[in-house]
Structure 1
Amino acid sequence: MNMLAAFSGYSSSDIPACKTFYSDVLGLTCEDSMGGIGFKVNGHQVFIYPKDDHTPATFTVLNLVVPNIDVAIDELMAKNVTFLRYDNLPAEQDSRGVLRGKDAGMGPNIAWFEDPSGNILALVEE
């Protein structure tokens, strides 16, 4: 099979709210595309499309790799982003909502939050 490219996509119940969130809160350059929005992160294309009966996934749809998770959390909390807490993780999250995987030898530090449509996003420390 000869593939030319690949991109990720997921749905939203409110494209205008998502465009504002991804642009103003996350700082991404969003473009209108086929009734939805598209953006790129280091060459990776993501497309968010409208869906009237949207139901958010129960898993992370987008991981955003950051050099320092605490700095990224401070920036997002200043923009009123709330971080999610889970009871079923292999270790407890700290007071900021971070699973400190590096400290526990379980992978990267990670923290989860939602976009305006309830899609789960994560910050992952490089």
Structure 2
Amino acid sequence: MLTTTGAFGGMSVRDVPEAVRFWRDVVGLEVEDGDIARLLLPGGGHVILYPKADHEPASFTVLNLVVPDVAVAIRELGATGLEPERYPGMPQDEDGAMRGHGPDIAWFRDPSGNIFSVLTD
């Protein structure tokens, strides 16, 4: 069996300074700036944000942020100009949240086009 001392995730971005500003100033997470930035997650984990010249946005959710209330999170992110992603065929309400099919959840995109969600635990 593999012995590990920790773990972290990573996602490519088209522009690290732009990603740092977004995650810090729009979403409100702590970020350690650098050529490869570290997005510090509540609870102690982190995700590296690394530049990729031929960046293609992920077609899946790369990060899930647990919030107490999805409707409040949608309003808070909306106040910064972010709108939830809408997916054809998904039972999303007028706010853009999907409710009653597991945790309440809404999806958004970062400036690089990567998908992240806010959801209840």
Normalised-by-shorter TM-score class: over 0.9
TM-score normalized by the length of structure 1? 0.90
Alignment match, 2:12: 11
1:32-43 mapped onto 2 (5 Å cutoff):
32-33=33-34, 35-41=35-41, 42-43=43-44
More strand per residue: 1
Shift of 1:29: 1.2
The residue type equivalent to 1:95 in the other structure is E
Counterpart among 104, 108, 112 of residue 113 in structure 1 = 108
- Identity, in percent, stands at 47
Q: Describe the SS at the equivalent of 1:6.
A: coil
Match of 2:48, SS state, is: strand
**Separation in 2 of the partners of 1:10 and 1:88?**
27
Unaligned runs of at least 5 residues, structure 2: none
Please tell me whether residue 93 in structure 1 is matched to residue 92 in structure 2: yes
Instruction: State how many pairs are aligned.
Output: 119
Q: Please give the TM-score of this superposition, normalised by the length of structure 2.
A: 0.93
User: CA offsets, 1:14-64, max 9 Å, x none?
Assistant: 11111111000111111124x121022111111110000000111000000
Q: Distance in 2 between matches of 1:45 and 1:21?
A: 16
Q: RMSD of the alignment, in Å?
A: 1.0
